[in-house]
Structure 1
Amino acid sequence: MTACMFIHGFTGSPMEVEPLATYIQQHSNWECIIPTLPGHGNELRLKGIMYNEWLLHAEDTLRDLLKRHDTVYVVGFSMGGLIASYLATKYPIKKLILLSAAAYYVNFVQLQKDIRIICADFFRGRMRENELFTRYINKIKSTPLAATIQFRKLVQYVRPLLSNIHVPTLIAQGEKDGIVPLKSANYLYNTIRAENKKIIYVEDSKHLICHCERKELLFQEIITFLKEPS
């Protein structure tokens, strides 16, 4: 039996990866599971949460899947990509998918472009319609500084481990991601030591890559990669 575990990002929820999980369920008979990391979900309660709690929660979920399935794949989005990478260094997963994985974060060039769009909508009186503005403001309001520090600690902890990854790995990165820069995907590709590795750049995609306009093509690439012989 086969299972696929999906890990969402910092301050996020299963919604970030649900479109991909749904697609894979529709095109396979695999068990798909999206755990909600401590402090995350529809209502953020990040105060007092340490980064190792996110790692331990993901480990517990993965160990349960490994007990029940011969083959387990792990998909990680944004910070979840770093957690998925950590798991790949410790557990016998078969393949790894990294989506907008935050080995580096904050793409200042794209962020400036996004801010210009937000400002233009402000002067047109269309702020409520601007999804980028709503997302950024909600994240800022609900994210304690201490939680951001824990996120940075997680990145610093996992980044030196990336060279220990040897399982087949697919990396996907949105070309217009304002949160994670292209150099993050390039760094992952150059650092991970898997013989079978692939990198995909998704045109016009911002950070929420599983919700972009080209998601169907991306999902096809992902499931093809997972189903092909190692």
Structure 2
Amino acid sequence: MKPQKRLVEPFCFPGNHVGCLLIHGFSGSPSEMRYLGEGLANLGWTVLGIKLSGHGTTPEEMSKTRWEDWAGDAEAGVSELRKTCTKVIGIGLSMGGLLALHLAALGLIDGIVSMNSPMLLADRRTRYLRLIRPFREFVGKPKSPKATTASLRSESRSESFQLKPERFVYEKIPVDSLISLNKAIRQVRHQLYKIHCPALLMQSRTDTTVAPISIQIISKNIRARKFEVLYWEHSGHILTLGPERDEVVLKIHEFLQEFCLPES
């Protein structure tokens, strides 16, 4: 199915001297971040929502891309914002959050907002992808097979809250790209100690895609001067489009005000 152009194209909203780099998730598209981006732009912040290589097209196109491609896209986004902004904050959902952590470990950004970022995927079967690679090129979207009935219902309610035109995402995942993501998770996890910038870490408690323990791993290993850990009770994995999305916008706005604006 061909996606609507508005859902998959990157977006940019000019604002003040603080640039917000919005990074969508694995197999997703900028549509996951547009609502958040519009909200932050309305509050005065400069916003750039990028599209990662191989995303927003077809799973076959994504199968040609790897972590190195996506990291390059994120670094290019930082460079673009640096042209007009004195500070850049990486704001990412899922793998987008992993990319924000990667940028912070490299010292390229001034702050992080990490939302449902994976240090461990909930579906343990993703750990054995190399065994099935000779037999399958694509798999379905991973979710925890041991998710509780309550968490699955909560995730379903969160997804049903989303307006259908709001998001474009692949229904099947290239195995090679998923293998690359797993490798990247291990790499970023080993680099967390290099992160010193302010951080806002968010996690949905009923996330069935990313193991909620991920946020504990991040918070225990980063060396940020200041950071906040925030759990969301009613949202699923796509926190930016769930029932608490307006509160998410306000929390990020408060974080940006506290750590990025000069004291009066």
TM bracket, shorter-chain basis: 0.7 to 0.9
Counterpart of 1:154 in structure 2 is 184
What SS does structure 2 have at the residue aligned with 1:96? strand
What are the ranges of 5 or more consecutive residues in structure 1 without an aligned counterpart?
Answer: 122-128, 132-137
Deviations 1:8-48 (A, max 9, x none): 111011111222111101111x2211111000115332122
Q: Do the aligned residues in 1 keep the contact of 2:19 with 2:81 (CA within 8 Å)?
A: yes
Per the alignment, residue 71 of structure 2 pairs with 55
Distance 1:19 1:228, change over 3 A: same
Contact preservation (8 Å) 1:105, 1:180: yes
- Secondary structure at the counterpart of residue 98 of structure 1: strand
- Whose helix proportion is higher, 1 or 2? 1
Give yes or no for the alignment of 1:113 onto 2:149. Answer: yes
> Once superposed, what is the RMSD of the aligned Cα atoms?
2.4
C-alpha contact 1:96 1:170 (8 A) present in aligned 2: yes
* Contact in 2 for aligned 1:39/1:49 (Cα 8 Å): yes
Other-structure match for 2:19? 3
Given the superposition, is the C-alpha separation of residues 109 and 148 from structure 1 closer, same or farther in structure 2, using an over 3 Å criterion?
closer
Aligned to 2:56: 41
Q: C-alpha separation between the residues in 1 aligned to 2:95 and 2:239?
A: 13
Cα distance, 1:229–1:159 mapped onto 2, change above 3 Å? closer
Match status 1:143 vs 2:173: yes
* 1:91-110 matched pairs, under 5 angstroms: 91-106=107-122, 108=144
How high is the TM-score relative to the length of structure 2?
0.74
Q: Which residue of 1 aligns with 2:136?
A: none
TM-score of the aligned structures, taking structure 1 as reference length? 0.84
Looking at structure 2, the residues matched to 25 and 104 of structure 1 have their Cα atoms a distance apart, in angstroms, of: 32
Question: Any conservation in 2 of the 1:98–1:169 contact (CA below 8 Å)?
Answer: yes
Amino acid aligned to 2:214: S
Alpha-carbon deviation of 1:68? 2.5
Residues in 2 aligned to 1:184 and 1:201: alpha-carbon distance in whole angstroms: 12
Deviation, structure 1 residue 67: 3.0
Q: CA deviation at 1:83?
A: 0.7
Which of these residues, 69, 74, 95, is aligned with residue 90 of structure 2?
Answer: 74
Q: Which residue of 2 is the match for residue 134 of structure 1?
A: none
1:154 Cα offset (Å): 1.4
What percent identity do the matched residue pairs reach? 26
Distance 2:69 2:244 in 1: 34
- What do the CA deviations read for 1:107-146 (whole angstroms, capped 9, x no partner)? 63763537976xxx9xxxxxxx899xxxxxx74x531211
1:103 partner amino acid: M
DSSP-derived class of the 1:182 partner: coil
Amino acid across the alignment from 1:99:
M
Deviations 1:77-120 (A, max 9, x none): 10111111111122342211001111211163763537976xxx
The answer on whether the counterparts of 2:107 and 2:195 sit within 8 Å (CA) in structure 1 is no
Structure 1 residue 157, shift from structure 2 partner: 1.6
Is 1:14 the counterpart of 2:30? The answer is yes
CA distance in 2, matches of 1:206, 1:110: 16
* Equivalence for 2:202: 172
SS in structure 2 opposite 1:68?
Answer: coil
